[in-house]
Amino acid sequence: SQQGEEDPQALSIQEGENATMNCSYKTSINNLQWYRQNSGRGLVHLILIRSNEREKHSGRLRVTLDTSKKSSSLLITASRAADTASYFCATELRMDSSYKLIFGSGTRLLVRP
Amino acid sequence: DTGVSQDPRHKITKRGQNVTFRCDPISEHNRLYWYRQTLGQGPEFLTYFQNEAQLEKSRLLSDRFSAERPKGSFSTLEIQRTEQGDSAMYLCASSLRGEAAEGETQYFGPGTRLLVL
């Protein structure tokens, strides 16, 4: 079963607008990561936020983490057509010695030129 | 390109046939993971290796599935007697686990898309 659930499942915005995606999870984590996947391709790591961090930035990306609500958000500012992809949150569970990632079902983002 | 390669990229097979996929991780990475992804879903964990040792297998990995990582380098995933339900994207990822348990980035390959007819 998947630990994370993204919201919304699909998002369509105009180029230049901001895109916000949310992720909720169920159990205690070491960290939460966001990945991007272009259609039919592998996953690309975007950003990792540790359980003791609340916010992190990388370029046009801003990630927040609220461990009390077991939720995270990914904000993409000034979106571009090239940002069109599926975005997944993935959690690395606390006390899991394999450090495997548990993925959500993803948000499909369409940025219209 | 993340540095992780998978071969083949696509495989079409008939039900009942055996298939084998290969993953070449980033050379210094000691951990290797296999995931399966079906259409519209996120990847699901199948198994992982620390060096050559297979340390965990998901319940998704039936007896028809076997994975190896000889010498702690490349890995193979074999599916015997394929079923239509095995149709999916099989993704490999590698990472380098250090001493600090603060999280690691997994680098994913492009995947092998399997279609079982």
Scanning A21-60 for CB atoms below 8 A from B yields 30-31, 33, 35, 40-45, 48, 50
List, as one string, the DSSP characters of A82-113: GG-EEEEEEEEETT-TT--EEE---EEEEEE-
Burial class (CB in 10 A: 0-12, 13-18, 19+), A113: exposed
Nearest CA to A61 out of A41, A27, A91, A85 is that of: A85
Using the Cβ of B40 and the Cβ atoms of chain A, whether some distance falls under 8 Å is answered with: yes
- Looking at chain A, which residue has its C-alpha nearest residue B9? A41
- The mean pLDDT of chain A is 92
Closest CA–CA distance from residue B81 to any residue of chain A (Å): 25
Residue range B37-74, pLDDT digits in tens: 999 899 999 999 999 999 889 988 889 999 999 988 99
The mean-pLDDT minimum among B6-10, B72-76, B102-106 falls in B102-106
* DSSP summary character for residue B105: P
Residue range A11-33, pLDDT digits in tens: 999 999 999 999 999 988 889 99
- Looking at chain B, which residue has its C-alpha nearest residue A5? B42
Between CA A26 and CA B43 the distance in angstroms is 17
- Looking at chain A, which residue has its C-alpha nearest residue B53? A98
Between CA A22 and CA A4 the distance in angstroms is 10
| Cβ-based neighbour number of residue A111 at 10 Å | 20
**Which segments of chain A have a pLDDT < 50?**
1
B105 closest CB neighbour out of A42, A48, A50: A48
